[in-house]
């Protein structure tokens, strides 16, 4: 008889009072504002280089973000707006080549230093790591794109910063399905109640929520009007000392105006207390 790692971790979490043990981060729009001036620009440059008369405006790309995953987004657009072109160019094989070219351009943008981390990200990651809180990633972006972003942002530390990385096609069902969170939780060997997720969008929030992971939302230009009712808190960004973030919903932010480990622990304790009153939520990822 095999033992489920999440189920076996539940007694440990209960004994520890469901203390915050790991923080799971989304990437695009959460760690960095990669969508509008990163992925979108790279798509448009790839279209031009490949002789395709497509251009995704800022607003059009915002609508396309409802489809998670770059390959999936590209296929969604082509099958709805360019079926004849898709047939002539070779279908999925051509889309795969186009997406690969886009990724090459995206990594060039990262290497040029044009895409930086969002406010408070580097500070919070350093605080969490220094305190022994485990770090993980749950994203639909490809592993190669993720590695490029981490290397450009953290240098050699990028290789050891995150203990578990769930990226790209490690699962079939993309967000808002909870599969990527289940995958990460299993490798952390932790129940959802021992973790906290940081996301920026409704699909990401729905994925984490369905997996039972309490979630902080840091909105961006594309997700400013997103309904994330049920999130621990919704903030404009993580903030910095002297450059406060704005709390837009959910539990309030501390008077200092930035998200730190103490703030995450306070929010997490509230979620853990609610989970104890509703034990089935702890088992959401089982």
CATH number assigned to the domain comprising residue 107: 1.10.150.240
Q: Active-site residue among 26, 33, 200, 237?
A: 26
- Which of 69, 88, 111 is a domain's end point? 111
Same domain, 27 and 151: yes
Q: Is 97 a catalytic residue?
A: no
Three-class HEC string of 140-206: CCCHHHHHHHHHHHHHHHHHCCCCEEECHHHCCCCCCCCHHHHHHHHHHCCCHHHEEEEECCHHHHH
Please pick, among 4, 28, 225, 255, the residue that the annotation labels catalytic: 28
pTM for the full predicted model: 0.86
Structure confidence at residue 234 (pLDDT)? 97
The torsion defined by the Cα of 7, 22, 66 and 32, in degrees rounded to 10, comes to -160
What pLDDT sits at residue 278? 67
Task: Write down the residue that tokens 């799971």 correspond to.
Answer: 24
Q: Which of 60, 87, 111 is the last residue of a domain?
A: 111
Counting as low any pLDDT under 70, the low residues of the chain are 1-17, 278-286
Instruction: Tell me the residue range of the domain where 130 lies.
Output: 5-33+116-283
State which of 111, 139, 164 marks the end of a domain. 111
Main-chain phi, psi angles of 145, to 5 degrees: -65, -40
Q: Answer yes or no: do 71 and 158 share one domain.
A: no
Q: Are residues 76 and 121 in the same domain?
A: no
- Could you give the number of structural domains in the chain? 2
Please confirm, yes or no, whether 156 is among the known catalytic residues.
Answer: no
Q: Tell the burial category of 270 from Cβ atoms under 10 Å away from its Cβ (0-12, 13-18, 19+).
A: middle
């Amino acid at each position: 008889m095999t033992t489920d790692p999440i189920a076996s971790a539940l007694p440990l979490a209960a004994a520890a009072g469901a203390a915050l043990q790991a923080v799971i981060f989304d990437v695009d729009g959460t760690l960095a504002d990669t969508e509008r001036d990163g992925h979108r620009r790279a798509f448009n440059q790839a279209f031009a280089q490949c002789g395709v008369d497509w251009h995704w405006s800022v607003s059009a790309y915002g609508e396309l973000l409802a489809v998670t995953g770059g390959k999936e987004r590209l296929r969604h657009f082509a099958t709805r707006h360019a079926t004849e072109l898709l047939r002539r160019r070779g279908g999925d094989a051509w889309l795969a080549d186009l997406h690969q070219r886009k990724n090459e351009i995206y990594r060039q943008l990262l290497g040029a230093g044009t895409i930086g981390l969002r406010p408070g990200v580097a500070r919070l990651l350093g605080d969490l790591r220094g305190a022994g809180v485990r770090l993980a990633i749950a994203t639909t972006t490809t592993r190669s794109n993720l590695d490029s972003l981490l290397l450009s942002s953290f240098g050699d530390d990028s290789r050891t910063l995150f203990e578990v990385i769930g990226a790209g096609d490690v699962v079939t069902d993309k967000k808002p399905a909870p599969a990527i969170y289940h995958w990460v939780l299993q490798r952390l060997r932790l129940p959802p109640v021992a973790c906290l997720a940081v996301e920026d969008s409704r699909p990401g929030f729905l994925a984490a929520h369905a997996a039972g992971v309490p979630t902080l939302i840091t909105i961006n230009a594309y997700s400013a009007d997103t309904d994330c009712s049920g999130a621990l808190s919704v903030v404009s960004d993580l903030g910095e000392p002297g450059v406060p973030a704005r709390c837009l919903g959910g539990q309030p932010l501390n008077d200092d105006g930035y998200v730190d480990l103490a703030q995450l622990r306070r929010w997490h304790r509230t979620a853990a207390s609610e989970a104890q009153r509703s034990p089935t939520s702890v088992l959401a990822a089982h």
